[in-house]
Structure 1
Amino acid sequence: MKFSAKNPRLRKAAKRYLQAKKMTLTDLTKKETELYSSTIDLYNGKGNSEGKGLTLNEIYAGYRKVHKGYANMSETDIECLKRGLFIQWYSMTEPNYLTGIAELDKNAELKIITELKKRIDQNKTDNELKWMLNHYLNWDFVFARFKNIAEFKKDENVVDLTNIKLKMVNRGQMGIYWNSIISRVGKGKSPP
């Protein structure tokens, strides 16, 4: 077999190798932090003036990979499910130039929704996930395209965690978002 970039077997082997080298939750957290920092730098005009830093399209591609990583681990790690679900919701509710999150992999999105439904059906969620889902369901259009898989409804028996002073540290952009919500409520403001 000839080794060249044009060789389809080599390209497939390289792709399989990269897919086999799965990122851990710690790796994904670190990558997500870097991507979010790059997004903020670009928004504040600090990125790419000297060819340094990532472009917005590179950030979008990076977040797509991070989301895919969370989706791949969502069956065995509820934290990955929470983060993957957040990224899906956030990609539909906030401007991508502020979040760094644009179009996501459709199969990864389906995997997150399918796993969420499975966990709900098997009563294998926790209060935090239910609380987050209740919040996300205020934007029901986000879930409309998945109605053939699941129709989620708010759970009225969930303990509202916004009044509990949680600290969501090292939890990616999801943690940043929820810390801001909890902080707003602590100052007497209602959540968005």
Structure 2
Amino acid sequence: MKLPLCLAAIASSFILAEAAPSDDMENLRTSCENAASVLNASLNSTAAMDTAGLVQNITWQLGASRANLAFMNTTSTTNGTSNTTNSLNSPYFDYVHSIYTFSEAVMRRGRIYHLEMNLPVYNSLKGLAIGVQAYGMQLRAAGMISPHATIRTFTAGSSIVDAESVWANNANFPGRLKRHVRLRR
């Protein structure tokens, strides 16, 4: 069975776009830091923001990095060569630190007056937390990070879950300021 031409082109672009795990981590770190700076800059300027889109973009990049890592592992075992023996702890720690920074920015954004709905951001954060955990476990299973880095994976996932909890309240009405009403007796 032949793949249609467009699917073959897409598949070949994934193969040609292969990057080293350290490059993927650097790209993820840069994306997290850029998204955090966009969120921090918007805190005082606008109540309308696409926080869910920013979170989803990082989740997609994480998924692409995981697919790239899985592809590298299958090609290295089929070619008879060993996996990368370099320790990726340093770039991994930088990436995890950017996850903390991003989570804090998302928490600050969720705690202030905003016009966006909570549920899309909450769902995007849930997907990101799962992706961060899976990526860390995949790197550890491939022997690319140390067991100490696995602890950082858990704490990074925990910081995203903390951000999730800020956006979890579906009972509030985004875009409305809380007003205290005094009742007369």
State TM-score, norm by structure 1.
Answer: 0.38
Computing the radius of gyration over CA atoms, which structure comes out larger, 1 or 2? 2
Larger proportion of helix: 2
